[in-house]
Structure 1
Amino acid sequence: MRRTISKVPFGSYQGEPVWRYTIENARHSQLQVLSYAATWYDFIVQVDGQPQSLVWHFETLDDYLKTPYQVGKTIGRVAGRIGHAQFKLHDQTYRLPPNDGQHLLHGGDHGLQTHNFDGHFDPTGDTVTLTTTLLSTEDGFPGDLKVTVSYRLTTDDTVQITYHGVTSADTLFDPTCHVYFNLNGGAALINSQQLGINSTKLVHTDQDKVPTGVFYVPSPAYDFRAQPVIQAQLDRLSQETGQLGYDDCYVIDHQSEPAGRLVAAHGQLIFNTDRNGMVIFTANPDHGQATTAGKYHALAVELQTLPDAINHHGFGDPILRADTPRTFINQYRYVGNQTR
């Protein structure tokens, strides 16, 4: 079987049709994305001859519109928080309308997560290309920014997401996918899965989850280098801090190595990025699920430049120069136990 790409309607947004695209490779693995918010809808692999969903998703567009969790969506211009909703670029201070207390989250209320992208693909190819434009007059950032998000499914079950930006004036550019994983399907808990993170330090944040500008060495509850079981770490976290879940940013130690991995009994998902940050967030995106404290159906993994980088030295470079294209790549490879 050769690879194929198809699309079907998935509702309507602001008077425009929303499409769900499906890329299928020779292994019968499927990558599914939506034109709305360039959303990663699902990643389905074959486990013992049966389809296994790895990505937490909703069945209807209305649920995607209502959720505050940004499930699977492309977020930005800038992922994460910008402290006090302001930054300085070339000696000019930009103050933007805050949308998270006094801070700016995921580029504001007119970010990529609110756009219905134009989609293009070759039916016999392996990539869906989604494009949109962020206007300075709408979101307050300098420059009109054309963003291209390309989703590719390779023959070895790697999902590659490429972010390409071109701007009319120097601006900020650090988008990512706010994807939530559960290697055993959304009805199961992630607590029994293992999580590994290639990091020896975290970003310190204040009570509003805004970076303070310093890094710190994790205590045992925050150390995922040895790929512990998530439940064991949650138990340590509760004992150390009284907290019941994670919402933290890790500094990737070596970008030549995987940023991390999520492991279940049937296989693992390996994360790679050309940027320096990995945010994890334990969550139950569907409030209708019956859960108890510390029991989670999903783990968000956001691969990006460290949040609020424009306001902190040593956090990375989020600046996109005028008429100078810039590209970022995140990769997620599934390796089943039978092929590991």
Structure 2
Amino acid sequence: MLGMPVTRTKFGQVDGEDVYKYTIENSNKTRISVLTYAAAWQNFEVYEDGEYHSLISHFDDLQSYIEMPFQVGKTVGRVAGRIGKARFMINGKTYQLTPNNQTNLMHGGDDGIQTKNFIGSADGKHNSVSLALIVKSSDDGFPGNIDLLITYSLSEDDEVSITYTAVSDADTLFNPTCHVYFNLDEPSIMDETLQIASDSYLDVDDEKVPTGSLISVDKAFDFRKGQIIENALCNLEKQNGKLEFDDTFVTYGDRVATLSSDKRVVDFYSDRNGLVIFTANPTGVEVPGQYSSVAMELQMLPDAINHTNFGNIILRKNQKTSYTNKYQYRKL
């Protein structure tokens, strides 16, 4: 079946550059919108009973994407998550970057790709949008300039695919993700069920940097058969006194997680080994213990460069590398 037209509208300006929103729609009237700013996933809407319903947290104005601290829907990197002490080694050379999260580097630093405006192009035949950026070493301090292409596509069976393709002119690190927050049924996620294909999660220090050790899932952290999020949060408070999840699970297999309500399901697929979940209120006032959304960050395990058993995130010079995240919507 031939694809449908991809629409483009102006969304605002940043640093004197126009920011555009691209919207892809399939024959089911399911549609996704992406921004050139931060290659952000701006919306994911499904058409039910004569009206649209959004499945992800989003803003309808550019300024909120620029100013709000929760990285809503943005592509973060070139390395998502924390790098301990903002330090790493490649080929025997140590690189010390400027910390932006206590003593650590978070999401590639304050000049990461989440702060950049990409160049967009649409492909209506394949229901996709591609966003291109030269990630400059002079901007973020990492070695190597990366030629980065991020492609969003929407299939006829309501699957969203995000592919990250990179080539660098020097050995560097590459582990981006989409920092997207899901909520299948407003106003909160508390009654939704989360299932994760994981037997272990990462032990972290007081600054949320992985220690290198894995902890077997139990009680609050055991999502293998699914847990209602409110129940999991209650178990979490009893287990260690915490009121939110901000944790990384070691995942296996292709389908790594499922989020479901009594009406809707989204399955999460990844070709990498980690899933960070973060319960939050990214677009409003925080109420501890009550959350509007859960971030589902599909990536290689955080701080992988400093832990030999976490996976390889080194992008070798002139070696093209691609990662793909997929999000499959199903109506119950």
Query: Which interval holds the TM-score relative to the shorter structure?
Result: over 0.9
SS at match of 2:206: coil
Question: Which residue number corresponds to residue 212 of structure 2?
Answer: 213
Unmatched 5+ residue regions in structure 2? none
Question: Which residue number corresponds to residue 182 of structure 2?
Answer: 181
Question: Which residue number corresponds to residue 273 of structure 2?
Answer: 276
Deviation at 1:150, TM superposition (A): 0.3
Structure 1 residue 328 corresponds to structure 2 residue 323: yes
Question: Which residue number corresponds to residue 144 of structure 2?
Answer: 143
SS at match of 1:231: helix
Q: Is the CA contact 1:121–1:129 (under 8 Å) kept in the aligned structure 2?
A: yes
Q: Deviations over 1:102-122 (max 9, x none)?
A: 100001111110100000113
Structure 1 residue 294 corresponds to structure 2 residue 289: yes
Question: Which residue number corresponds to residue 222 of structure 2?
Answer: 223
1:14-33 equivalent positions in 2, closer than 5 A: 14-33=15-34
Deviation at 1:244, TM superposition (A): 0.9
Deviation at 1:124, TM superposition (A): 4.2
Q: Deviations over 1:82-112 (max 9, x none)?
A: 0000001000000001111110000111111
Range that drifts further, 216-225 or 13-22: 216-225
Question: Which residue number corresponds to residue 244 of structure 1?
Answer: 243
In 2, Cα distance between equivalents of 1:68 and 1:218:
30
In 2, Cα distance between equivalents of 1:197 and 1:109:
31
Q: Deviations over 1:177-209 (max 9, x none)?
A: 000010124xx0100000000001001110100
SS at match of 2:120: strand
Range that drifts further, 214-223 or 35-44: 214-223
Q: Is the CA contact 2:151–2:163 (under 8 Å) kept in the aligned structure 1?
A: yes
Q: Is the CA contact 2:126–2:153 (under 8 Å) kept in the aligned structure 1?
A: no
Unmatched 5+ residue regions in structure 1? none
In 1, Cα distance between equivalents of 2:273 and 2:3:
36
- Residue 229 of structure 2 aligns with an amino acid whose one-letter code is I
Structure 1 residue 38 corresponds to structure 2 residue 33: no
Question: Which residue number corresponds to residue 50 of structure 1?
Answer: 51
Question: Which residue number corresponds to residue 253 of structure 2?
Answer: 255
Deviation at 1:262, TM superposition (A): 0.5
Q: Is the CA contact 2:3–2:126 (under 8 Å) kept in the aligned structure 1?
A: no
In 1, Cα distance between equivalents of 2:111 and 2:136:
9
Question: Which residue number corresponds to residue 312 of structure 2?
Answer: 317
Give TM-score scaled by structure 1 length: 0.95
1:185-196 equivalent positions in 2, closer than 5 A: 185=186, 188-196=187-195
- Residue 174 of structure 2 aligns with an amino acid whose one-letter code is F
SS at match of 2:152: strand
In 2, Cα distance between equivalents of 1:266 and 1:48:
12
Q: Is the CA contact 2:172–2:315 (under 8 Å) kept in the aligned structure 1?
A: yes
